[in-house]
């Protein structure tokens, strides 16, 4: 591994520990692929509409209008991109360590549409939440709206859009695997006063049969496992159920930590 790659890995590791978020530029994804994201936005403008008058609740299906596995719609994580993986020096892992977890993966994507509102402070775009995935890759337009909760003081910080970039954030699964070295951080989306906003988050989630637990390489007497074993599919279903049934509480992975 070259010095440049080690330096980059160190910066990403620091971002994951401090913020749980980072942006990626010069990622090699053709611009045409990003432009294709706009192809799904027409669904929000169907003549007759009415969708804006309600909210989707009372079902455990995935949010929005996408219910297919992302593996059947976008070839992400395969082909030439999969060959470019390197060992993770921040977690002391080899490239192959996590690959098996994503065989028959349960990854999925969602298309978000936020119409403009003259008084955005009165409208809820997407409330504060953490992602149940391992990693989330967000493609968004150059319209502000994403806020991240700063861990140091609990303040909401607006993420400035960077042209032709992806925003990556740590999810619950990676927090467990890393034994809290990396943290799934709360974030939200707000509407814009003048401009509609679109975003496409892609949630990289392991196979439902994968057992979520701190990786053996990161557990020892000084750093015991902070989480019990849990099936990834069960956790995803619980989170989806919690999101849609309006229980009046927000389920967090930290609720299941092993007592110190």
pLDDT, tens only, 25-55: 988 886 544 444 554 555 445 444 555 555 5
Q: Which residue has the tokens 């034994």?
A: 179
Nearest to 20 by CA among 253, 256, 258: 253
What is the pLDDT, as a whole number, of residue 154?
Answer: 94
The residue ranges of every structural domain in the chain are 3-41+65-256
pTM of the model: 0.77
What is the pLDDT, as a whole number, of residue 55?
Answer: 52
What is the pLDDT, as a whole number, of residue 62?
Answer: 42
Q: Which residue has the tokens 């007592």?
A: 259
Residue 146: other Cβ atoms inside 10 A: 23
pLDDT, mean over the chain:
78
Is 60's pLDDT higher than 90? no
What is the pLDDT, as a whole number, of residue 229?
Answer: 93
- Identify which has the larger pLDDT, 60 or 141: 141
DSSP H or E stretch at residue 112: strand 112-114
Burial (CB count <10 Å: 0-12, 13-18, 19+), residue 259: exposed
From 73-82, 102-111, 191-200, the region with the lowest mean pLDDT: 73-82
Supply 73's token pair: 């719609």
- Identify which has the larger pLDDT, 169 or 65: 169
- Identify which has the larger pLDDT, 39 or 214: 214
Supply 133's token pair: 């995935």
pLDDT bracket for residue 239 (50, 70, 90): confident
pLDDT in tens, 105-157: 889 998 888 999 998 888 878 888 899 999 999 998 888 999 999 999 999 99
How many residues would you count in the chain?
Answer: 260
Supply 84's token pair: 């470019």
| The listed CATH number (2.40.50.360, 3.40.50.300, 2.60.120.330, 3.40.50.2300) that belongs to domain 3-41+65-256 | 2.60.120.330
Residue 91: other Cβ atoms inside 10 A: 20
How many percent of the chain have pLDDT more than 90? 37
Give strand pairing partners of 197: 114
186 neighbors 149 (Cβ within 8 angstroms): yes
Q: In the 8-state DSSP scheme, what is residue 195? A: S
């Amino acid at each position: 591994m070259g010095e440049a790659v080690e330096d980059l890995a160190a910066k990403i590791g620091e971002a994951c520990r401090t913020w749980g978020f980072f942006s990626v530029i010069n990622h090699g994804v053709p611009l045409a692929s990003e432009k294709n994201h706009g192809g799904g936005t027409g669904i929000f403008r169907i003549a007759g509409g009415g969708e804006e008058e309600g909210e989707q609740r009372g079902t455990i299906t995935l949010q929005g209008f996408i219910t297919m596995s992302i593996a059947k719609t976008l070839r992400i994580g395969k082909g030439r991109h999969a060959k470019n993986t390197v060992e993770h020096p921040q977690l002391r892992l080899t490239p192959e360590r996590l690959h098996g977890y994503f065989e028959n993966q349960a990854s999925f994507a969602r298309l978000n549409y936020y119409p403009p509102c003259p008084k955005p402070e009165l409208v809820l775009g997407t409330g504060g939440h953490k992602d149940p995935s391992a990693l989330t890759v967000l493609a968004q337009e150059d319209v502000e709206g994403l806020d991240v909760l700063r861990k140091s003081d609990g303040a909401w910080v607006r993420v400035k859009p960077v042209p032709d970039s992806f925003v990556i954030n740590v999810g619950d699964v990676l927090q467990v695997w890393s034994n809290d070295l990396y943290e799934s951080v709360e974030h939200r989306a707000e509407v814009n006063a003048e401009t509609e906003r679109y975003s496409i988050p892609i949630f990289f989630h392991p196979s439902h049969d994968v057992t979520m637990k701190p990786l053996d390489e990161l557990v020892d007497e000084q750093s015991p496992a902070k989480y019990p074993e849990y099936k990834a599919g069960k956790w995803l279903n619980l989170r989806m159920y919690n999101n849609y049934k309006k229980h009046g509480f927000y389920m967090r992975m930290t609720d299941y930590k092993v007592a110190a």
